[in-house]
Amino acid sequence: MPTIRQTVRRSGRLTALARGVRDAIRGAPAAGSTSAPQSATAAVAARDGLDGVAELHRVGPKRDAAAAAGPRLNLLVPTLSPARAFGGTRTALDLFEALAPRFPRLRIVAFQPIPDAALASLEGYVRANPGDEGAPDRVAVAVPRGPGAEPQLAVGPGDVFLATFWTTAELATRLVRWQAATFGGEPRPHAYLIQDFEPGFYPWSAQSELARATYTGDVPPIAVINSGLLADYLAGQGIALDDPLTFEPRIDARLRPFLAEPARERVRRIVVYGRPETPRNAFPVLVDGLRSWVAGGGGGGWEVVSAGRSHPPVELGRGLRMRSVGKLEIEAYGSLLRESALGVSLMVSPHPSYPPLDMAHLGLRVVTNAFGPKDLSSWHENIVSAAAMTAGAIADAIARQSAAFEADPAAGGRARPLRPDYVADGPIFLFADTLAERLGAGL
C-alpha cells in the first residue's frame, strides 16, 4: 500500500495540489493569501448570528451498517481547495500521511466542495457521498453546507478521527459520543492537530468560547501541537491537555536550496510580511512603525517591499513608498529574500510562524514581535524582537537592524541559528506510531 507521500510523488497534479495547499496554509508569500479565518470571515459570522453559530459543521452521524474491515482514519479538514484552504491543512496532510500506513481504510472529509482538479490529483481516492455506507478504502467526501436538511455522515464502529481546525474538533467530539452511544463502549479518542490558539482568531464571542471548549471538552482530544511554544502557551492558560504530542515547524523544503547558495550581494531593501486582511499579522502597527522609523530619520536609500497579500502602495513619508508584490512563487520569494537586507514580520500569536524564521535562515536581519512565551531572538542570531507592539518600539528595532546592516552588510549571512529544529531533516512526526496506537490503529 503506497503512502500518501509516495502517491503524491507519482502524480504531478497531486504534487501541485499539495504544494498549493501547503503554501496556502503556510501563509508563505508564495501563495499565502488564504489562512483562515480572515477578519472578514470572523466578523461576518459574528454579525450574522441570527441562525446560530455559522462556523459549526451541522452534520448528523448515520450508522454505517456495512461490514468494516479494520479501522478507518478520517481526516476532517475545512477545505481541500488550495485557493480557500484553512490554516493548518498543509501540516494536516503531512500528519495524515504519516499515520495512513497504519490504517487499512482512509477517508478525507472536507466541508467545502472538492474541486474536480483536487479530486483528480488525489490518486487512488474516489469521490463518495458523506452518507455512503461501505465506501471504498480511499474516499474523499465533501459535506454540503447551507440551507436544507442536515447532511449525514456514515460512521461505523471502526472510524477514528483526526481533527484540524476547532470547528472539526467540535464535530469530532459529537461524532465519537454518538459512536459510543450507538456501537457501545467509551467514546474513542480523536486526534486534534492544534496549530494556533484559535480562540484568538475572534473577538471574545460565542466563537472564541466554542473554540476554547474544544481543548478541554467532555471528550478530551489527543492533542498534537505545532510547536512547543504553543504548547507552553496553552499550559500557561490553564488548559490541561492529556499527554500532548508536540513537533516543531520546519522550513519549506523548496527553500532549502537557497540555504546552500553562495552569498549574494544584498540591497538596502526591507521585505515586509504584509497581509492587511489578517489581524494577527498586525499590519496597521507595522505601517505606523515604518512611518515612525522614516519620521525619525530612517529610510534614506532604502526600499520597502511587502510580500504576502496584494494591497495598494502605502506612503511611509519623505517620498518612501512601500509597494506590494502580493503572493510570490516560492522561488521568487527565496530569491527576494537572498538579495534583501532586512525582514519585518509580525504575528500576534505564541506560534513562532514561518516567515521570520525563513528570513533569518536566508540571511536577512529580522524584526518580529514577542508574544507570551515566544521570543524568536533566542532562535536565530538574525532576529530581534521589538520591545513592544508599538510603532515606536518597532521603529527602534528597524533602526537597530538597519544600522547593523550598514555597518556590516555580510553579517546577516554569517549569523547562526540558535536552535537546529527549523532546518532539521528527517521525519517530523516522531510520535506517529504512538499516535496511531492511541487512535486504535491496532483494533
Q: What is the binding site for its own copies (CB under 8 A)?
A: 39-40, 42-43, 45-47, 49-54, 56, 197, 200-210, 213, 217, 276-277, 279-280, 282-288, 291, 311-312, 314, 346, 348-349, 369, 388-391
What does the block give as the cell for 399?
533602526
Single-letter residue type at 100: A
Q: What is the DSSP string of 61-118?
A: EEE--SPP-S-EEEEEES---GGGPPTTHHHHHHHHHHHGGG-SEEEEEESS---HHH
Q: How many CB atoms lie within 10 A of CB 85?
A: 28
CA 396-397-403 angle, to 5 degrees, is 90
Q: How far is the CB of 309 from its own copies (least distance, A)?
A: 11
Nearer to its own copies among residue 148 and residue 262 (C-beta)? 148
Nearer to its own copies among residue 330 and residue 395 (C-beta)? 395
Contacts within 8 Å (CB) and 24+ apart, 172-177:
172/76, 172/221, 173/214, 173/217, 173/218, 173/219, 173/221, 174/61, 175/61, 176/219, 177/218, 177/219
Q: How far is the CB of 439 from its own copies (least distance, A)?
A: 24
What does the block give as the cell for 334?
527565496
Q: What is the DSSP string of 140-201?
A: EEE---SSSSPPEEEE-TTEEEEE-SHHHHHHHHHHHHHHHHHH-SSPPP-EEEE-S-GGGG
Nearer to its own copies among residue 84 and residue 177 (C-beta)? 177
Contact predicate 121/17, CB 8 Å = yes
Q: How far is the CB of 40 from its own copies (least distance, A)?
A: 6
Nearer to its own copies among residue 42 and residue 376 (C-beta)? 42
Q: How far is the CB of 73 from its own copies (least distance, A)?
A: 26
Nearer to its own copies among residue 103 and residue 371 (C-beta)? 371
What does the block give as the cell for 378?
533566542
Q: How far is the CB of 317 from its own copies (least distance, A)?
A: 11
Q: How far is the CB of 351 from its own copies (least distance, A)?
A: 11
Nearer to its own copies among residue 96 and residue 197 (C-beta)? 197
Q: How far is the CB of 250 from its own copies (least distance, A)?
A: 24
Nearer to its own copies among residue 179 and residue 349 (C-beta)? 349
